[in-house]
Amino acid sequence: MSVVEVENVTKTFATDHSKMLVLNNVSFSVENDEFVCLVGPSGCGKSTLLRIIAGLEKADSGRVLFREQPIEKPTPKITMVFQLFGLLPWKTALENIEVPLEVLGVPRPNRIHIAEEYLRMVGLEGFETTYPHDLSGGMKQRVGIARALALKPDVLLMDEPFSSLDELTAKTLRELVLNIWRNPVLPTNTFIMVSHNVEEAVFMADRVIVMSRRPGKIIGEVRIGLPRPRSSYLRDKEYFRYVDDVVALLEKGEAATKDQSPISLTVDQGGEVFKS
């Protein structure tokens, strides 16, 4: 059964003079227990798509279904991890995890217990009273992940979660996320990640969905058949073949947008042409 279904989603942003088509008729679905990665050049609307799934933005046409119910506003069943961590600087690591639970109405002793448990899970025991300002980037993202998971969502959305971290930290956190995804005890088992790092996508995902430059639409997808854990395959020919497949699709998308360039031009009333 599909957990998330994106059906014919189209989204335009209005700028001062023109309308800019960001998502053009995007459809795909994500199964239960699946790890899906959306890959595309920057500005292809993949983050916007993620925000529509999260309920933060509304699609102009088309809809997103979560367990067959349309998503209209954010729900605790779908949470998100942000590129710049999205931590509240005025709350300690523990409070950052605890406050969303307070909003949900979890009683205080329970929510502190939950927050401590999740902080321990991401390896930040002993940093309960530390403010984000005093945490490193990797630690902040750990708190971000713990906060998202503490709400016990069904779906975890990740918006380029590792792109503002150094490679070494990113590698450790990728393993952490994969361990969380594999963990049968946790209720969160459907992951949708946005990335522009093809190697990362192939390493982590079951399925890589490739999007074209704006207006973003789906060019194709690559099912990654590498057995897990994949860290031993990182030097493998097979791994690079998958990477090449994804890159080939990306290049196909680039070529296609160049051919159809008139489509990505919008004309405003004054007759001025904006290349979008």
Partner 1 sequence: MGKLGIAKATNWLHFGRLHWPKSFSIVSQRLRKYTHVERTTAIFLVFLSIVFVLYIVLGHFPTIATVSEGLSAPPSEDLVKLPILVVFTMGRLFLAYGISIVVAIGMGVLAAEHKRFAAVFFPLYDIGQGVPILALFPVISLWLTGLLGNQGLALEVTCIIMLVLDMIWYMFLNIVSAVKNIPTEINEVGQLLGFRGLKRITHIVIPSILPAIVTGSILSWGTGWNTIIFAEYLPSTGSADPVSIPGIGSLLDKAGYEYGNTVVLVLMLGVISVLVLLMEAFIWRRLLRKFEKYHVEV
Select 73 or 235, whichever has its Cβ closest to partner 1.
73
Kindly state the smallest distance separating residue 185's Cβ from partner 1, in Å. 23
Min separation Cβ 48 and partner 1, Å: 12
Backbone angles phi, psi at 61, to 5 degrees: -145, 165
Nearer to partner 1 by C-beta: 87 or 193?
87
What is the spatial distance between Cα 84 and Cα 165, in angstroms, rounded to a whole number? Answer: 9
Report in angstroms how near the CB of residue 252 gets to partner 1 at its nearest: 32
Q: Is 150 exposed, middle or buried (0-12, 13-18, 19+ CB in 10 A)?
A: buried
E strands present in the chain = 2-14, 19-31, 35-39, 61-66, 69-70, 78-81, 155-159, 190-195, 207-211, 218-223, 265-267, 273-275
Nearest distance in Å: CB 144, partner 1: 9
d(CA 95, CA 91): 5
**Edge-to-edge strands, sheet with 155-159:** 78-81, 155-159, 190-195, 35-39, 207-211, 218-223
Min. distance of Cβ 137 from partner 1 in angstroms?
9
Enclosing H/E stretch for 177: helix 167-182
Write down the least CB distance from residue 259 to partner 1, Å: 34
Q: Would you say 18 or 79 has its CB closer to partner 1? A: 79
Q: DSSP state, 24?
A: E
Evaluate whether 220 touches 40 at the Cβ level (below 8 Å): no
Given the complex with partner 1, which of 92 and 276 has the nearer CB atom? 92
Shortest Cβ distance from residue 47 to partner 1 (Å)? 11
Neighbours of 227 (CB within 10 A): 8
The distance of closest approach from Cβ of residue 229 to partner 1 in the complex, given in angstroms and rounded to an integer, is 30
Residue with tokens 């069943």, as numbered in its chain:
77
Considering beta carbons, is residue 155 or 202 the nearer one to partner 1?
A: 155
Closest CA to 141 of 91, 211, 93: 93
User: Between residues 85 and 242, which has the closer beta carbon with respect to partner 1?
Assistant: 85
Report whether 60 contacts 8 (CB < 8 A): no
* Residue 131 or 233 with smaller CB distance to partner 1: 131
Q: For residues 89 and 262, which CB has a smaller minimum distance to partner 1 in the complex?
A: 89
| Interface ranges with partner 1 (CB under 8 A) | 51, 54-56, 74, 76, 79-80, 82, 84, 86-90, 99-100, 103-104, 131, 133-134, 151
Cβ pair 23, 38 in contact under 8 A? no
